[in-house]
Chain A
Amino acid sequence: MSDEDVSKKNTKLAKKLLLVAVAMFGFGYALVPIYDVLCEWKWIERDRPDDIKKVPEVAYKVDMSREITIEFMTTLNESTPMEFRSEKKQLIVHPGEYHTVNYYAENKTDKVMVARAIASFSPAVISSYFEKIQCFCFDEQTFKPREAKVMPMRFTINPELPEQYKTITLSYTFFDITEKSVKK
């Protein structure tokens, strides 16, 4: 084979390989929707903030023999100028009982603010047993300048919760999403 032939062959192969590299860059982005789809699979049992959806209020048989301690945490990151706290720090409940906990949030700025609360459970498997009837976290919350709100969260714990769980920590983080809402 002459030098020229080899050189042509090299360029051709290089182009093909470059195409593979570009495709893999695309694959990196494709992992985003793939991840979302996989997480919908039943057996993945992943806890997504959005999964914790409103459920209808059903009358469970209250399991008086068990007590579950629920700790309520509230968090703000540095870029959310709000005040945010729960009325109660801790609550002891029986599985199947309904309770309402109020959260207090205040916009500390002179501008309209849109914020979204994201829940997180510890231990994570709890989320599918923690049933919310009413929650400020279901929607984006709009605050007028300096507005303060008292927002209820009504919930129960499904009595099917496995025995070993005795303490649950529920944490809410408010994110300031004003900029993103304006863009929409």
Chain B
Amino acid sequence: MSAVIAEHDDHHADEHHDHGPAKGLLRWIITTNHKDIGTLYLLFALAMFFVGGSMAMVIRAELFEPGLQFVDPMFFNSMTTMHALVMVFGAVMPAFVGLANWQIPLMIGAKDMALPRMNNMSFWLLVAGVLLLASTLFMETGAPSAGWTFYPPLVLQPITVGTALPFAVFAVHLLGISSIMGAINIIATIFNMRAPSMKMMDMPLFVWTWLITAFLLIAVMPVFAGAVTMLLTDKFFHTSFFNAAGGGDPVLYQHIFWFFGHPEVYIMILPTFGVASTIIPVFARKPLFGYASMVWATGSIAFFSFIVWAHHMFTVGMPMAGELYFMYATMIIAVPTGVKVFNWTATMWKGAMTFETPMLFSIAFVVLFTMGGLTGLMMAIAPVDFQYHDTYFIVAHFHYTLVPASIFILMAAGYFWLPKWTGHMYNEKIGQLHFWLSAISVNILFFPQHFLGLAGMPRRIPDYAVQFADWNMISSIGGFIFGASQLLFLYIVIDTIKGGTGEKVTDEVWEDASKHSLEWTLPSPVPYHTWETPPMLVPTEHVLDSH
């Protein structure tokens, strides 16, 4: 049907006097090539995944038994705070920006990102921001320990922040500037650099979800930057935004924070949806079911993300009208999200499915993300949320939507595109082992936390009452297995880059993949420069399907 692709060919490369990458280490510092920058982002995110993961191991080790075992409570609190910040701003977000850098130009037939120099700058600002944040770990008073949400008045009290607060605030500024620049770049690329024949509704869903995510980033990262700046001036310049004595209100901070915070959680999940919508059709050997409804669902989820923030703070003492409004508004989000889950299921329905590692991770994502979504619905019900609030139930909920969702899909993306990027096949046996270990242990890790939360165990505590001992121990065991299993992924990434199984992969890599998206029409490994001449025709399977 489609797949009449591209005048593009290697010989064009010669005509354009192309040069390969610069030699040596300097290549990685000065590069403006979208593939190099994508690689930098992905490797950095992988490193941070292990840094943040080690912090999680400290947390699970301390919670293995009741009582204080390994670390003092203040350090424990620093670990929960830093684990969240590193995972959100250092691992998940940069990983998706890395995927965007690699894939968006390849998928829309652009020769590079729209603003290549800014692209380089946003990566290195990210590194600077994360280093600044990490530097607080070595300060005498310790890293920030009031939770990643930085709630005042706790975060302003000397004992919980010490000297770390200004460093954390400036780190947030740098990370914010970095992701705003990344977002601007992505929007400009998608709007201006598409192959002339590609209309908006021809774009792969990964591109669509990132376009919408980029707008979310531009809209909310500055608000977060503003909120932490207010904390900074309250602390050091005698303003009273959140200081009751000066006429301020700490609850205001929570409103501003979650005005950013709720879209932020969708910033981490929308590209996840995009990758899942890319992988599932390939292994179901069917076009994506309901392409247009997927686009609209993504858009409406993004819109709703701006008007539901206060469901994070039902217990703060809101008026009844507010509780009701935020409760119903939150529940509406289940509709577009449900559309997506049903579409993925329908894509698989009667498909000629095969179960390679990327597909396994994607199917696990659909199942486990749905569970995370269902507990989200439970918490949307304001009156019962009073029981769940700030317990391990919420910890279980958002980890289900982040670990077996965002992280699993990032793994799936790695397995899916690494052969394309490197030209080498990964070891399928180890990949499958990695999947099964991860999928089983992630449930041992997080499922018991639902029970702990319902029984009343609060989050962010280093010690707990003895009745919580059994499930905590099981959860910790799951955590250790999950953590150790990820080393397999590290091994596979290194092994694949170095040559993998030695099997030569085809241009398509996966059977008929070129029907789904443009990148599979390029040679494997992808040359350093691609689409010097835009492709003439683009795969339009989903478009044909929707007519």
Contact = CB atoms under 8 A, between A and B. Distances in A.
B522 interface: no
B222 A31 contact: no
Given A179-B238, A180-B238, A10 B192 contact: yes
Interface residues of A, number: 40
Contact of A48 (B230, B249, B322): B249
A25 B223 contact: yes
A99 to B, nearest CB: 26
B227 A28 contact: yes
Contacts of A46: 319
A150 B119 CA distance: 65
A27 interface: yes
Contact of A124 (B230, B247, B259, B317): B317
Interface in A1-60: 6, 9-11, 13-14, 17-18, 20-22, 24-29, 31-32, 35, 43-50
Contacts of B220: 24
Contacts of A61: none
Interface in B205-255: 218-227, 230, 238, 240-241, 243-247, 249, 252, 255
Contacts, number: 106
A87 B225 CA distance: 45
Nearest to A22: B222
Given A24-B223, A28-B225, A44-B321, A173 B259 contact: no
A23 to B, nearest CB: 8
Contacts of B218: 17, 20-21, 24
A15 B46 CA distance: 32
B184 A17 contact: yes
A9 B191 CA distance: 10
Nearest to A44: B319
B245 A175 contact: yes
Nearest to B157: A78
A22 B180 CA distance: 10
Interface-central residue, A13, A44, A45, A77, by most chain B CB under 10 Å: A13
Contacts of A17: 183-184, 187-188, 218
Interface-central residue, A11, A28, A183, by most chain B CB under 10 Å: A28
Interface string B118-131: 10000000000000
A28 B157 CA distance: 23
Contacts of B255: 31, 35
A78 B222 CA distance: 33
B256 interface: yes
Contacts of B322: 44
A152 to B, nearest CB: 22
A175 B244 contact: yes
Contacts of B115: 10-11, 14
A6 B118 contact: no
B180 A21 contact: yes
A124 B245 CA distance: 18
B188 A28 contact: no
A62 interface: no
A116 interface: yes
Interface in B173-201: 180, 183-185, 187-188, 191-193
Contacts of B185: 14
A93 interface: no
Interface in A74-127: 77-78, 116, 118, 124
A177 interface: yes
Given A14-B184, A17-B184, A180-B246, A32 B252 contact: yes
Given A18-B184, A28-B223, A44-B322, A6 B193 contact: yes
Contact of A29 (B192, B226, B246, B321): B226
A18 B227 CA distance: 19
B259 A31 contact: yes
B256 A13 contact: no
Contacts of A173: 244
Given A26-B226, A78-B158, 15 more contacts: A10-B193, A14-B184, A18-B180, A21-B180, A21-B218, A24-B219, A25-B226, A28-B226, A31-B256, A35-B249, A50-B247, A175-B243, A175-B246, A179-B238, A180-B238
Interface of A: 6, 9-11, 13-14, 17-18, 20-22, 24-29, 31-32, 35, 43-50, 77-78, 116, 118, 124, 173, 175-177, 179-180, 183
14 contacts: A10-B192, A14-B118, A14-B185, A20-B219, A25-B223, A28-B222, A31-B252, A44-B322, A50-B247, A78-B158, A118-B245, A124-B317, A175-B244, A177-B246
Interface of B: 114-115, 118, 153, 157-158, 180, 183-185, 187-188, 191-193, 218-227, 230, 238, 240-241, 243-247, 249, 252, 255-256, 259, 317, 319-322
